[in-house]
Structure 1
Amino acid sequence: MDTHHPGVFLTEDRLAIREMAREFATTEVLPLANELDPVHGEIPMALREKMAELGFFGILVPEEYGGLGLGLSEYAIVVEELARAWMSVASLIARGQQFTAGFGPEQRARYLPAMARGEFLSAFALSEAEAGSDVANLSCRAVPDGDGWRITGQKMWCTFADGSDYLQVFARTAPVDPAHRSRGVTCFLMPKERGTLPEGVTGTPVRKIGYHGWTTWELSFADAWADEVVGELGKGFRVAMGDLDTARIHTAARAIGLARGALEDSITYAGQRVQFGRPIGENQGIRFKIADMAAQIEASRALMYQVCTAVDTGRPSPVEASMVKLVASEMAERVTSEGLQIHGGAGYTTDFPVERYWRDARLTKIFEGTSEIQMRIISDALLGRPDART
């Protein structure tokens, strides 16, 4: 379903980008998702190569480094289209253009061209068992060793650790300062061979309920070697937070794509499924569900376009980025759940994609900052931070 027409936001160029991404998602990604997701299969390398040829890994990479040099608006348009087919594929493109906020000039010149070609993709090793939303509470440590560092500790939720070309690992290089807990954390870049884990790193796959197509890992570091720092020593928290506007808009676009998949599939199903002698789409209860789903999607997309425009015109707003991430992810869970309801018993099988949209939508409320974290950011901006209690 598509109610958008050329206008202030959807220029002719952006419409052309959207149609290209939509055709790719429909013909290349969706059939693979329907085949591989139910059996927890991996995103094929051939698909990654096609994505690279289309420039998907370099949308945000400046032209001087071989990228397309486009903005978050174009990025969000492509992400929505890919997520409508398979959220994992929509997530994969971030691995070539996000998480680079702390790169210095030499690192940008060395790595960004390869990233834009899809040849230097990342895995983000930040979270730990006791450091989920509290990302400053890291216990993984790095100690100097000659001209490098030895990293020891545990990391959780490191998706793509095996398939990536490098890990970005956040470890504590100085003792905790109670007054400034985020200080003393350093970001390390750890290159590796694709398909393996670095020497000194072992992993256990996380038994997740969705987000299939790639593996999410619990990693153990035992004197693993790193000799390249991203950003400044002891200021890795700034690196971790540096791409949050982009990451949260990315998640909003993924959520909208999932919801759109549920809506479009529900419209099709409602026209085909016959009960009591007529298609269920003739029943007012179903029709009103679909109308409400469509309205929620449009409202979330309009907010996303507004936030993208602000960022692309030099007016970044972490609060608005939190708002769109919150609104879109909460919407996606509601809309995909309604889509599953419209499918009835069929929706609770893996024979229809709607259950995939539902499972993956639930994750959008958790990663890149939970809904509760977004509400804290928004309320703090509106009301000020509450006084500390002793």
Structure 2
Amino acid sequence: MTHKPAARDDVPVYLTPERLAIRDLAREFTAKEVLPVADRLDPERGDIPDGLRQKMADIGFFGIMIGEEHGGLGLGVFEYCLVAEELARGWLSVSGLLARGNGMGGGFTDEQEARLLPRVARGEWLGAYALSEAEAGSDVANISCRAVRDGDEWVVNGTKMWCTYADQADYLVLFARTDPHRDPDKPHRGISAFLVEKERGVFPPGITGNPVRKIGYFGWQTWELSFDDFRIPASALLGEEGKGFYLAVSGLEVGRAHTAARAIGLARAALEDSIAYVKTREQFGRPIGEFQYLRFQIAKMAADIEAARQLMYSVATAIDSGRRCSLEAAMCKLVATEMAERVTSQGIQIHGGAGYTTDFRVERHWRDARLTRIFEGTSEIQMRIISDELLGRID
């Protein structure tokens, strides 16, 4: 006798009708628009089409956290993460594109916000970060790229790594050292941020790029950038000179919640694909979904995903309330991304030999989940943050 699960219409109180509506909109959009594109382009390492980007803009996805006065939706991190999970369920890169609008306006003056944020909300002006370097990943204070003042301009020399979307972006947020006298006790001082406006699809004179040869995260290019006497106007400075480090770390809580949401989306994709597979794949004359071991694996995957999701909801709520939650955000990022690699790997195991082919999506989920443990601060960095909070820092 086959048991049919009872339909559930009860939802937690924090999933308001408005939040459910935006989640369901993103879910429908992913099924209709994102998954078919990912299935076609990920195997050939093709770029996210302009048409898909425009459809995201038309819905308002790039302005989720932009105020209504600037043409955005005026929503919070909670809604941002709801949408990110759904998009990542289809293709991790598309959920990353979401961040090229939302959250990129830190350090803007009132004039810049009024002039630029409406364009961001419409998807007409999307950005990329030029922050990390070969010797400055999580150690942001170790930045060595230099910007030297020359009259009414800054002259930039150095290199940057891991600049995803740098070619297609309409602007870069560039971090460079403007004080040549690095304080060994406070190396984070003397770093400044700059707004580099550029033409979409090309690099301006003075910037060259080499694509990074990645094993996943397809759909867009990740670049190593070289700055060779690259000149920008003095007005390109974002915020106060020498205080760029604080701008770089100001969005970490949001970034880690967003990464957790994306990891959860990948894990959910592996779970849903595995459930569909065990219902149709037969061995020994019966669907493999009737074997207890696989049923228990599915149960464990689902429980792990939900535990990470509830932690992510808690962190998103804390951020929206204005409460500092760096410890909880680190925990959320750690738990969700470690879970995602584990669950997507189990999804491959459930698929057996078929899982180790490109004929099924689960290998894509696994490749991309592996990256979530690295960007926005590695798992090891998150554990350092957590342990320092609990045990005190070690100098």
Q: Tell me the TM-score normalized by structure 1.
A: 0.97
How big is the shift at 1:8? 1.5
Separation in 1, partners of 2:18, 2:365: 29
1:275: which partner in 2? 283
- Give the deviation of 1:3 after TM superposition: 7.1
Separation in structure 2 between the aligned mates of residue 382 and residue 110 of structure 1, nearest angstrom: 44
Deviations 1:198-248 (A, max 9, x none): 211111100000100000001110011222011111111111111111100
Aligned counterpart in structure 1 of residue 362 of structure 2, from 325, 331, 354 = 354
Query: Which of 343, 365, 370 lines up with 2:351 in the alignment?
Result: 343
CA deviation profile, 1:90-134 (whole Å, cap 9, x unmatched): 010101122322222122112111111111111101111111121
1:220 to 220, 226, 242: 226
Instruction: Answer yes or no: is the 8 Å Cα contact 1:99–1:243 preserved in 2.
Output: no
Q: In the alignment, does 2:332 pair up with 1:324?
A: yes
Aligned to 2:192: 186
- Please name the residue that 1:235 is paired with: 243
1:83 aligns with 2:88: yes
**Residue equivalent to 2:59:** 54
The answer as to whether partners of 1:144 and 1:150 remain within 8 angstroms in 2 is yes
Q: Name the CA distance, whole Å, in 1 between partners of 2:8 and 2:278.
A: 19
Distance 1:5 1:361 in 2: 30
The answer to whether structure 1 residue 162 and structure 2 residue 163 are counterparts is no
Shift of 1:179: 1.3
Whole-angstrom CA distance in 2 between matches of 1:157 and 1:305 = 28
* Cα shift at 1:309: 1.1
Q: Which residue matches 1:139?
A: 144
CA drift of 1:314 comes to: 2.0
1:307 to 309, 315, 322: 315
Q: Which runs of 4+ in 1 moved over 4 A?
A: 1-4
In 1, distance between residues paired with 2:9 and 2:34? 23
Deviation at 1:279, TM superposition (A): 1.0
Greater Cα offset, 219-228 or 52-61:
219-228
Q: 1:5 to 1:45 in 2, by over 3 A?
A: farther
Could you list the per-position Cα deviations for residues 259-279 of structure 1 after superposition, in whole angstroms to 9, with x for gaps in the alignment?
000000000001111112111
> 2: CA distance between counterparts of 1:61 and 1:95?
12
CA distance in 1, matches of 2:271, 2:147: 48
Change (3 A) 1:3 1:338: farther
Alignment partner of 1:45 is 2:50: yes
Cα 1:106/1:132, change in 2 over 3 Å: same
What amino acid maps onto 2:77 in structure 1? L
Query: Is contact 1:6–1:12 with CA below 8 Å preserved after alignment?
Result: no
Q: In the alignment, which residue of structure 2 is the partner of 1:104?
A: 109
Query: Does the 8 A contact of 1:206 with 1:215 survive in 2?
Result: yes
Identity of aligned residues (%): 65
- Segments of 5+ residues of structure 1 without an aligned counterpart are none
Separation (CA, whole Å) in 2 of partners of 1:10 and 1:310: 15
Q: Is the 8 A contact 1:102 1:242 kept in 2?
A: no
**How far off is 1:4 after superposition?**
8.0
Task: Select 2:74's aligned residue among 61, 69, 73.
Answer: 69
Q: Identify which of 121, 125, 134 aligns with 1:120.
A: 125
CA distance in 2, matches of 1:5, 1:183: 51
The 2-side partners of 1:85 and 1:374 are apart by 26
Shift of 1:6: 2.6
Report what 2:214 is aligned to.
208
RMSD value, Cα: 1.3
- Please give the alpha-carbon distance, in whole angstroms, between the structure 2 residues aligned to 1:342 and 1:92: 30
Instruction: Output one character per residue of 1:277-334: Cα deviation in whole Å (capped at 9) or x when no partner.
Output: 1111111111111000000000000111111111112213111111101100000000
Contact 1:260 1:297 in 2 (8 A): yes
- Structure 2: how far apart are the matches of 1:376 and 1:99? 27
Match of 2:267 among 255, 259, 275: 259
Say which SS state the counterpart of residue 140 (structure 2) adopts.
coil
